[in-house]
Amino acid sequence: MNAPHTVPSPVFTGTRLKGLDFANRLSVAPMTRISASPSGVPGERMQHYYERFARGGFSLITTEGIYTDKAYAQTYKGQPGLTDRQQAEAWRHVTDAVHAEGGRIFAQLMHGGALAQGNPYRSDTVGPSPVRPKGSQMAGYHGDGPYALPREISESEIADAIAGFAAAARLAIEVAGFDGIEIHGANGYLLDQFFTDFSNRRTDRWGGDIIQRFGLSLEVLKAVRAAIGPDVPLGLRLSQGKVNDFNHKWAEREEGAARVFEALAESPADFVHVTEFEAWQPAFEGGETSLVALARRHAPRLFLIANGSLHDRKRAEEVLASGADVIALGRGALVNPDWPRLAASSRDLRPFELPFLAPISDIKDSELAL
């Protein structure tokens, strides 16, 4: 048992984003759990999985990455979608359950691009340029061997992908009952492939310097904003590392980060979600400032969600002090769906152990019993 804390921790203070009140600064990070039906419909298992986090005291939950169209977006077998009414109506059970427990839930919308490894709608993949992704397919999501060599996505397919994000966002808000939208611009998926110099060799308007490469994310934000109206919280997740290239760093360093966060502050986004392996570390070798602090400095207007090894409460407090509004827990929340309640009463937290997600990262019975 830890000693009881006498001073109230900043993690338990309330905050507000647009019209939404949050009782504390604790959110669940997006986590793909490939537990939907083969047609991308979330079921009761997923409902129970998500509602536990709200019951456990997390004021915000961001869903796993949800695919946005029936062309090239789906990335993993068992991934849920938001591409038709059946999928959207099934999500309604999840959002109702979370709301009944007093939580809020944002849909994370994602397009896998060249990292798609289990898409029943297409047998090939697309990316900004025909560059084979680094690393290998994710075994925990039924993948095996190297990624496919993507075909260069055409201008009209880019328009379709943008429209897919907008349509999925509309379904998320109007039918599924989500409280906000997070666009997945991080971790190596399509928007990050455009953002990354290694994977984007284009010479048209979607390629070039860091802001040109960021252009697709900005266009998606615009299209989604038009689809959901001005009042719904909308944000973008950004990272340096990728699921297939953990140590990637933005070559443009602090100066590039400044330009990106400034562009985002001018966009229709309300929030930015930054993720690093350890959120408090300097973002660039030899530098001093974390990505969280850079986001705060260059996008003071934006609500800021920070993620990365923050399951230790002192670390979480440190990152809130460096400018984050809310912190997001991934692995710590998986093993402690009641992390806020445990931490508030200074009870011991369960340590994360990898076998928890093995051999396949789907939702386990043992987990639902936690």
Ligand X SMILES: Cc1cc2nc3c(=O)[nH]c(=O)nc-3n(C[C@H](O)[C@H](O)[C@H](O)COP(=O)(O)O)c2cc1C
Residue ranges that bind ligand X, judged by CB under 6 A = 29-32, 64-65, 108, 184, 186-187, 237, 275, 307-311, 329-332, 357, 361
User: At closest approach, how far in Å is the CB of 276 from ligand X?
Assistant: 9
Indicate if 189 belongs to the active site: yes
Give CA–CA dist 32/14, Å, rounded. Answer: 28
Residue 208 vs 330, nearer CB to ligand X: 330
Judged by beta carbon, residue 71 or residue 335, the one nearer ligand X is: 335
Q: Which is nearer to ligand X, 150 or 185 (CB)?
A: 185
| Distance in angstroms (rounded) separating the CA atoms of residues 20 and 17 | 5
Q: Say if residue 130 is preceded by a cis peptide, omega within 30 of 0.
A: no
Residues in the chain: 370
* Apex 76 CA angle, 72 and 78, nearest 5: 120
Give the nearest distance from C-beta 363 to ligand X in angstroms.
Answer: 10
Nearest CA among 162, 20, 168 for reference residue 87? 168
In whole angstroms, how close is the CB of 241 to ligand X at the nearest point?
Answer: 9
Task: Report the interhelical angle of 155-174 vs 85-100 (nearest 10°).
Answer: 40
In the numeric block, the tokens 């959120």 are attached to 279
Report the distance separating Cα 363 and Cα 370, nearest Å: 12
The DSSP-derived string for 88-117 is HHHHHHHHHHHHHTT-EEEEEEE--GGG--
Q: Which is nearer to ligand X, 201 or 337 (CB)?
A: 337
In whole angstroms, how close is the CB of 204 to ligand X at the nearest point?
27
- Beta-carbon contacts of 159 under 8 Å, excluding residues fewer than 6 positions away, are none
Distance of closest approach, residue 197 Cβ to ligand X, in angstroms: 21
Element containing residue 42 per DSSP (H, E): none
Catalytic residue among 72, 76, 147, 189: 189
The residue among 106 and 261 lying less far from ligand X, judged by its C-beta, is 106
Q: Which residues are catalytic?
A: 189
